[in-house]
Amino acid sequence: MSAILKSKLKVALIQLAGSAPDKNANLTRAATFVAKAMKEQPDTKLVVLPECFNSPYAVDKFREYAEVITPEAPSVKALSEIARQWKIILVGGSIPELEPTSDKLYNTSIIFNEKGELIGTHRKAHLFDVDIPNGITFKESTTLSAGNKNTLIDEPSIGKFGVGICYDLRFPELAMVNARKGAFAMIYPSAFNTVTGPMHWHLLARSRSIDNEIYTLLCSPARNLNSSYHAYGHSLVVNPKGEVIAEAGEGEEIIYAELDPEFIKEVRQAIPVTFQRRFDIYGDVSKFEV
């Protein structure tokens, strides 16, 4: 397993208070924050937005805000222009997607290159259906369908990275598969809440990095106590050693980090789990992907 990161990479995670009822306002706010990030750190090459940043995060709202993913769809067009204008790789958080032939809805991340071209999509594979006593009850499957594929982006200018969405973080297999196929990072636009966030947000991010000796990036919406869903915030970047190297608070904020291919090599040389695995005892999940 070799992580393919071409060179040092500056990343920015945009923790914005989107998810408001006005989709156009959400898209404009995202554009404003990306512009701010690029002016503060003009050498940034990879930018990440939060889960469901362009619509309310509510099961009864997904269909109302859903878009068919075409070049003229409002969110696709807006994010494409942002990526093209600033010449960045843009992981466009996630948006509600309508698949017109089946009429199914998905929670989908759309990823663009520096030319504004759509280079990948990830439909949330694991739906957030939970019932925590005295905590939170939420059931995405009421309106959403689950994606059916792993997502590994191979972008020549920077290398390979995997994409998951929020609850996908709890299932280590996606990160395992992507790391073993050369991903230098897993990127998860996410919206953990004020119940699950304090429990597992940092622990899961650090675990995915330690398991695979890669970088892990979680990008959350800012917390808005006036909305129906209270995001945890705390967008963060974890290095291959399991250390948090950048972290936001609860409000609107941009955090920056530099990902270093040499550090990945150093960690893997020091603790060489990448070639000590015993596939004669247990299977290699990256070999069994459908």
Quote the distance between the C-alpha of residue 183 and its chain's center. Answer: 14
Dist CA 287 CA 285 (whole Å): 5
DSSP reduced 3-state for 142: helix
Cα distances (Å, whole numbers) of residue 250 to 179, 224, 254: 30, 9, 11
* Catalytic option among 51, 155, 213, 247: 51
**Strand order, beta sheet including 185-189:** 152-155, 159-163, 185-189, 215-219, 236-238, 244-247
Dist CA 179 CA 274 (whole Å): 10
* Catalytic option among 140, 155, 160, 166: 166
Dist CA 229 CA 80 (whole Å): 28
* Catalytic option among 45, 52, 67, 124: 124
Question: Can 166 be counted among the known catalytic residues?
Answer: yes
Per-residue b or e along 104-123, where b marks 16 or more CB atoms closer than 10 Å to that residue's CB: ebbbbbbbbbbebebbbbbb
Catalytically annotated residues: 51, 124, 166
